[in-house]
Amino acid sequence: MIIDLVWLVPLIPLIGFIINGLGRNTLSKSLIGFIGSSVIFVSFAISVGIFLALGADANKSHEIFLFDWINAGALHIPVSFLVDPLSAIMLLIVTGVGFLIHIYSIGYMHSDEGFGKFFSYLNLFIFFMLLLVLGSNYIVMFIGWEGVGLCSYLLIGFWYTNSSYASAAKKAFVMNRIGDLGFLLGVFFIFTTFGSVEFSKIFPQAANMLPGNTTIALIALLLFIGACGKSAQLPLFTWLPDAMAGPTPVSALIHAATMVTAGIYMIARSNLIFDLAPLIQHVIAIVGLATAIVAAIIALTQTDIKKVLAYSTVSQLGYMFLGLGVGAYNGAFFHVITHAFFKALLFLCAGSVIHALHHEQDMRHMGGLRKKLPVTFITMLIGTIAIAGLPPFSGFFSKDEILAHVYLHDKVMWGIAVFGAFLTAFYMFRMLFLTFYGKYRGTHHAEEKIHESPKSMTIPLIVLAVLSAVGGIIGVPEALGGNHWLSHWLSPVIKHTGESPDHATEYILMAVSVVGVLISIAIAYGKYIKQNHIPASDEAKRSVLANLSYHKFYVDEIYDALIRKPLDAISVFFYKIVDNKIVDGIVNSLGWGTTEASKGLRLIQSGNVGFYIFMMVVGIISLLLYTYLSL
């Protein structure tokens, strides 16, 4: 049966990584591109087979045991994979979107020296991501979790000769580490509480527990901290915008479609544990909402096209966490899927624009690209509408599902969340208008060189645009005549899901958000097309709010003052006082003491043979005496 072959899915990208990694300097670029993409395609084909087989199968949870990894006392950790509806659908996203991005990368990276290195890293990333998704226990998941972090680091710092890119990579790595510590501690607590790290042993136990257990709450909190780091939530979100230093396909694959959703996947996977900790769920909802709003406000004034998208990713991830927090696991996971489509699309479009403009990322130097890049323009328009949430595009369904559950949970939170959705529509259309409408604002010389991207880049754009447009079909709510296929599909994994509002309420909620989004678009249209407003240069004076937004609420500066500076001061203290004075002092004085003592002792060695012999005899006699007396 094909489900038993699931180990092939991660193995094939790993083989691709080895071939491309070893042959990065010897194989030709077209061969590397072919190998790199085709291994992902094979994985994708197997994933489709698994998905179909699982759909036809009555048993919805298959555990494929590979081998025992750790067997020590009560600790038993096998490497085994879990194929169930949740992981099957993640497999499709990771390999499917991953394949499209690999194809795109062939065009985008064709003139880069590190072509082979790039593809081997991408394949390695897919391998670890599949490990994360497929693991049937928290440890295998954690290996994948760390592995994708590593690949993220390698790819953010891909152009490592630029020191600011290299430090962005370091920043991402360190920030992720903070979250990973939480995850790891959470896993330790899980082991001590449930006596196992296997999903199949933990969740049945958790299902019989009552909410309110402190240990469970602690586990949930620690896992959530892990998710915060990986999925860029407050207060650990600052690494994601900086991660835009990597090549654009990386931003699309890792920092939009797959890796950053790992946190949501992990929480959705552990939904039974989180259901037992209502307080932590509340925390998740608040953190998610705060992230959604803060990131949306920052995105309003950014001028770098990729930074806008990065903050929009952070904001959308915030919505997903908001959904998780109010118990709408289906809605949150639905948003993961649609977001993977439209955000990958938007990043790839941005990459296409950047490629066309020869690495110009500042929107103030763009404009009027609509005619020059028709395919990019149309696909990006579709992506923008999808993220803004206009029906019948995919983002509308997933976002409104989350918002509807939030409405039932708490009206105030709903108000804030909807306002954030309006902001989303505004900043996304601002980006679209600034890039594609009006007049070109770069140099005349650069304008002549603008060209539409090659086929290998536009075809993935078109496929993703189609998916972004119709992807919502998998989760059409009953109020609109659908039957929400996704929630039926996920029902074996996600048992408890918040109740849906009645149809009348749902219509009103939808109407509010659609009208609001349309108004936001109209405002953006008025400001950036009618008035031809161009964002001011860096030095220009801004109002207080705009300044806060433009400087990202000074979060980096706050961290600098609160954490880095004190750490630096402590380090200096340890270096100057503890290390230089105390530690070195002990070692140096030992050395000094030995030298001084030797200076005195060496005088005994006078060269007088008679004295030597005398000392020898004294020694022998005292030895004899010692033995005699001690008998």
Interface contacts to another protein, rule CB under 8 A: 602-603, 605-610, 613-614, 617
CB of 601 to another protein, least distance (A): 11
Closest CB to another protein among 592 and 612?
Answer: 612
Nearer Cβ to another protein (58/609): 609
Helices vs. strands in the chain: H and E counts, helices first: 27, 2
Of 567 and 617, nearer to another protein (C-beta) is 617
C-beta of 582: minimal distance to another protein in Å?
35
Tokens at 498, concatenated: 């918040």
Count CB-CB contacts under 10 A for residue 5. Answer: 14
Q: How far is the CB of 594 from another protein (least distance, A)?
A: 17
Nearer to another protein, 412 or 609 (CB): 609
Q: What is the DSSP letter of 560?
A: I
The 8 Å CB, 24+ separation contacts for 358-364 are 358/446, 358/449, 360/442, 360/446, 361/304, 361/305, 361/306, 362/303, 362/304, 362/305, 363/303, 363/304, 363/305, 363/308, 363/431, 363/434, 363/435, 363/535, 364/303, 364/434, 364/441, 364/534, 364/535, 364/537
Q: Minimum Å distance from CB 146 to another protein?
A: 60
Residue placing its CB nearer to another protein in the complex, 511 or 616: 616
What is the signed CA dihedral for 160, 166, 168, 171, rounded to 10 degrees? 140
**Tell me, what amino acid is at 431?**
M
Q: How far is the CB of 618 from another protein (least distance, A)?
A: 10
Q: Which CA distances in Å does 424 have to 131, 316, 418, 428, 544?
A: 33, 9, 10, 6, 21
Is 609 or 629 the residue whose CB approaches another protein more closely? Answer: 609
Cβ closest to another protein, residue 608 vs residue 630 = 608
Residue 554 vs 612, nearer CB to another protein? 612
* Residue closer to another protein (CB basis): 569 or 617: 617
Between 412 and 604, whose beta carbon lies closer to another protein? 604
Minimum CB separation of residue 160 from another protein in Å reads 57
Closest CB 630 distance from another protein, rounded Å = 22
Question: Cβ of residue 622: shortest distance to another protein, in angstroms?
Answer: 14
Query: Minimum distance from CB of 623 to another protein (Å)?
Result: 15
Q: How far apart are CA 380 and CA 342, in angstroms?
A: 9
- Distance between the two ends of the chain, CA-based, in angstroms? 81
**Closer residue to another protein, CB minimum distance, 573 or 611:** 611
How far is 336 from 330, CA to CA, in rounded Å? 10
Kindly write down the DSSP assignment for every residue of 62-82, as one continuous string: EEEEEEEEEEETTEEEEEEEE
Closest to 386 in 3D by CA, of 418, 354, 425, 356 = 425
* Smallest gap from residue 593 Cβ to another protein (A): 20
- Minimum distance of another protein from residue 627's CB (angstroms): 17
The rounded distance, in Å, linking the Cα atoms of 238 and 174 is 11
Report, in Å, the least distance between residue 626 CB and another protein: 18
Question: ω before 235 within 30° of 0 (cis)?
Answer: yes
Nearer to another protein, 583 or 613 (CB): 613
- Shortest separation between residue 600's beta carbon and another protein, angstroms: 12
Query: Cβ closer to another protein: 164 or 608?
Result: 608
The answer to whether the bond into 392 is cis (omega within 30° of 0) is yes
Candidates 29, 155, 228, 6; CA nearest to 95 is 6
d(CA 160, CA 533): 36
Structure tokens at 464: 């993703």
- Whole-angstrom distance, CA of residue 464 vs CA of residue 14: 25
d(CA 274, CA 283): 11
CA 392 to chain centre: 28
What secondary structure letter does DSSP report for 160?
T
The pair of structure tokens assigned to 168 is 């962005």
